[in-house]
Structure 1
Amino acid sequence: MEILGLYNYWVFAILLLIGLYAVITKPNFTKKLIGLNIFQAAIFLLYISMDKVDGGTAPIIPHGAAKDIIYSNPVPQVLILTAIVVGISTTALGLALVVRIREAYGTIEEDKVISMDRDQ
């Protein structure tokens, strides 16, 4: 395998780094949530990339099938579906918390919220 032929892993690495950068460096809570979603999308891409089996078919075994058939594993797709639901729930909860922080502090900037907490 050629290193440039694995472009999906390069995209995974770039998305992962962009999401991690946004989560760590951005002071705005909404931007942190967007970074978290980018990070999650990179993980989804990694699982889907690892699931690809060259020449693999759906794991449906017909009666009298040959034993040398290559099947794809369906478990990563199930894990991705579960992870998407958890990601949406996490995003919804995060946005609800951002709204409550905005109501309580008047801002969604992390450093301002922390300084207001220290002053109290």
Structure 2
Amino acid sequence: MADRRQKGTERQDRGGQDAPDKDVSNSTASAPNNSPDPTEVLASLIEAERTELMYVHSILRMLYDVLLYSDDDDGTMHADVARTCSMLIRESMERLEVLVRRYKAGEFHTSAGAQRPAEGA
């Protein structure tokens, strides 16, 4: 799993894309319109992190169930810790989901690259 995470980090450092070929990098220099939109890259990175959080949330929920009914004296306490971690991760996933929805609704898109003024300002 550490290897997968290592490779994923490398992909994310390149904007979520695999390493370009030598010929592609030369053509990219002459045609700047081929570069990925930074907001698209950000949205895909947020979605990837949200997916990872969903996996961890599922594992913690299973761990909670196992520990809750274990014969160990500390199992209940450990189950509560796993449940708390699971709840915190779920809250983080929900916040990321709201960001993705706002992005898809066009809230972060601007015409000249300038930031939109805050509502009510």
What range is the shorter-chain TM-score in?
Answer: 0.3 to 0.5
Instruction: Give TM-score scaled by structure 1 length.
Output: 0.48
RCO higher in structure (CA 8 A, sep ≥6): 1
Normalised to the residue count of structure 2, the TM-score between the two structures is 0.48
